[in-house]
Structure 1
Amino acid sequence: MSLEYHADVPREFGKNLCACISCHLVKTLDQFVDGGCENCGFLGMEGDKDRCLECTTVSFQGMISVMDPASSWCAKWLHLAKMVPGCYALSVQVEVPPDIKEIMGENGRRVHEAG
Structure 2
Amino acid sequence: DSTEANSRRGEERRRGEARMRGGGGGMMDDGGVEHAQIPNSFGHELRACLRCRLVKTYDQFRENGCENCPFLDMDKDRDNVVSCTTANFTGIISLMDPNRSWAARWLRIGRFIPGCYTLAVSEELPEEYQGMCQDNNVQYFPPKRP
Alpha-carbon RMSD: 1.6
Q: Which residue of 2 aligns with 1:60?
A: 89
Conservation of the 8 A alpha-carbon contact between 1:33 and 1:45: yes
Distance in structure 2 (CA, Å) of the matches to 1:82 and 1:46? 22
Q: Which residue of 1 aligns with 2:139?
A: 109
Read off the aligned partner of 1:61 and give its amino acid letter: T
Q: Which structure has the higher relative contact order (CA within 8 Å, separation 6+)?
A: 1
Per the TM alignment, residue 32 of structure 1 is displaced from its structure 2 partner at its CA by: 0.3
1:83 aligns with 2:112: yes
Structure 2 SS opposite 1:70: helix
Distance in structure 2 (CA, Å) of the matches to 1:68 and 1:95? 27
Aligned match of 2:56 in 27, 33, 37?
A: 27
Per the TM alignment, residue 52 of structure 1 is displaced from its structure 2 partner at its CA by: 0.7
The structure whose residues are more often strand, as a share, is 1
Distance in structure 2 (CA, Å) of the matches to 1:78 and 1:59? 17
Q: Structure 2: 5+ residue runs without aligned partners?
A: 1-11, 13-25, 29-33
Q: Structure 1: 5+ residue runs without aligned partners?
A: none
Conservation of the 8 A alpha-carbon contact between 2:133 and 2:140: yes
Per the TM alignment, residue 95 of structure 1 is displaced from its structure 2 partner at its CA by: 3.2
Q: Which residue of 1 aligns with 2:47?
A: 18
Q: Which runs of 4+ in 1 moved over 3 A?
A: none
The structure whose residues are more often helix, as a share, is 2
Indicate the percent of aligned positions where both proteins have the same amino acid.
44
Conservation of the 8 A alpha-carbon contact between 1:101 and 1:111: no
Conservation of the 8 A alpha-carbon contact between 2:90 and 2:118: yes
- When Rg is computed on C-alpha atoms for both structures, the one with the higher figure is 2
